Amino acid sequence: MRVLFIFLSLFFLSCSVKEKDFSKSLNDTSFLYDNWWKTYENVYLNSFVDKVLKHNSEINVARLNLLSAVTRYDLLDLDLYPTLSGNLGLSNSRNLNNGTKAGFNFSNALNLSYELDIYGKIRDEIDSAKFSANASAYELESLKLSLVNSSVDYVFDLVYFNEVSILLNDYLKNLELSKELYTIKYNFGKIEELDLLNLEQSVLNAKQNILSNEQNKELIIKNLKDLLGAKSEFKEIEYLNKLRFSDFQSKELNFNVPLTYLENRPDIQSSLNSLKAAFKDVSALEKSIFPSISLGGNLRGTSNKFDDSFKLMVLNGSAELSLPFLDYARVKKNIKLSSLEYEKLKLNYEQSLQTAINEFLLCKKDYEFYGKLLENIIVINEKQARIKNAYQLKYEAGKVELKDFLDAQNNYINSHQEILRQKLSLLKTQNLYYKITSTKFTNDRIAF
């Protein structure tokens, strides 16, 4: 029994390892860099995004993928340490010539096997699994970031369609009132039928725009429900449906960011870790062509008494030399396939870096562009408001017809709708900025 105790002690001592913790990535949203959606300072938006991160099925699937990758890593990590197994046996025999019984025979064995990692092949395989697990963790965070971006975009779309709906209905009311006036004029022969037909066509177009706006709104609501996943959380959309653009705070963006920081984006880090995993795969395959040595040992005992079978132990040892280079052609082809996969991932990584830079530079230009457009349309809207007020005074003084005043009102509504459109574009560009940079930058700090 003393030999058995020493045997087990050496095994468990060799298997003592440090615990690896990948669990932080599963539920921690701090990786999303200061929760950038909270910069809009809207509690309903914050609540909706939190529910998406909790219930979205794509995120839950990505979490399971990460757990699978971590489990594969842990499983491969065990290859660095001896494999222990054991068995107990019971046998009985009878002499067929004279019918005598030999009696019961008890046996037991404790086996230990271990492959020497002479060239670091097993370590490379473990490192590859570790990098793959890291890539899965970054994929999860990239997915979170993408879904948050889509969530906030859809919320702003919903706000836009709700505000536009009010303007479109006001626009239609003005047209219908003008149509009534034109109908009276036509009946008295003051205008031609063509004038009335043109106005009727405008009314129909306005109704068409209202229907299209409602259809687009329903599609956005459907998308918001898809993001939530859980039907029990659909009430969140009811709160969002009451919001207006004035309910959100917008902060000035800082594009004075070193482009090198873009490499910290989760999607790029995922590509980088996949590339590292592929490199380790190539290294492991290249080393697999060299001879490998496996050591084995066992303690066994047999007796016709169960207790005595543990006392009469025999210690055996073995060494096995494997020569994989004898199958050189097959190993070489596997190395070639692995090398091609590495080159492919290398190109993908380089392209992802260039794409990130291009996205950032385009986002900067779009932000400036939409900002100038918004400033310009606000000036137009202010002037249109003055024109509308002037026509109202003239109409009240009897100097112009009601139709002229209604046309001025509709022109004002059109410019107001254009303001909403540019606000939406600017806010979406701001969302894209946060997604591209994967963090929230300030003048004195970069949070990674």
| Nearest to 121, CA basis, from 297, 317, 331 | 331
Query: CA-to-CA distance for 438 and 281, rounded, in angstroms?
Result: 29
Query: Which residue segments constitute the domains of the chain, with CATH numbers given?
Result: 23-79+87-437 (1.20.1600.10)
Query: CA-to-CA distance for 364 and 345, rounded, in angstroms?
Result: 29
Is it the case that residue 437 has pLDDT exceeding 90? no
* Per-residue pLDDT, 4: 42
Average the pLDDT over 134-157 and give the result: 93
pLDDT tens digits, residue range 271-291? 999 999 999 999 988 888 888
- SS3 at position 295: strand
Q: What is the dihedral of CA 153, 157, 160, 164, to 10 degrees?
A: 160
Average the pLDDT over 254-283 and give the result: 90
Residue count of the chain, please give it: 448
Is it the case that residue 303 has pLDDT exceeding 70? no
* Per-residue pLDDT, 60: 84
By percentage, how much of the chain surpasses pLDDT 90?
A: 46
pLDDT tens digits, residue range 102-116? 566 767 777 777 777
| Nearest to 25, CA basis, from 56, 57, 55, 69 | 69
Q: What is the dihedral of CA 262, 263, 264, 270, to 10 degrees?
A: 130
* Per-residue pLDDT, 45: 96
Confidence of residue 210 (pLDDT cuts 50, 70, 90): very high
- Phi, psi at residue 126, to the nearest 5°? -65, -45
Question: pTM (2 decimals)?
Answer: 0.80
Q: What is the dihedral of CA 2, 3, 7, 12, to 10 degrees?
A: 0
Query: CA-to-CA distance for 413 and 164, rounded, in angstroms?
Result: 10
With beta carbons less than 8 A apart as the criterion, state whether 211 and 164 touch.
no
Query: CA-to-CA distance for 156 and 70, rounded, in angstroms?
Result: 37
* Per-residue pLDDT, 31: 40
| Nearest to 287, CA basis, from 331, 339, 327 | 331
With beta carbons less than 8 A apart as the criterion, state whether 148 and 52 touch.
yes
Residue 376 CA: distances (Å) to CA of 226, 279, 362, 420, 430 = 37, 53, 21, 13, 19
Q: Which residues contact 28 (CB under 8 A, 6 or more apart)?
A: none
pLDDT tens digits, residue range 215-231? 999 999 999 999 998 78
Q: Is residue 45 packed enough to be buried (19+ CB in 10 Å), middle (13-18) or exposed (0-12)?
A: buried
What b-and-e string marks burial along 344-373, b requiring 16 or more CB atoms within 10 Å of the CB? ebeeebeebbeebeebbeebbebbeebbeb
pLDDT tens digits, residue range 6-40? 444 434 443 443 434 444 544 544 444 468 899 99
- SS3 at position 302: strand
How many CB atoms lie under 10 A from the CB of residue 430?
A: 23
Is it the case that residue 350 has pLDDT exceeding 50? yes
- Residue 98 is classified by DSSP as T
32, amino acid identity: L
Q: In what order do the strands lie in the sheet with 83-94?
A: 83-94, 101-115, 292-303, 313-322
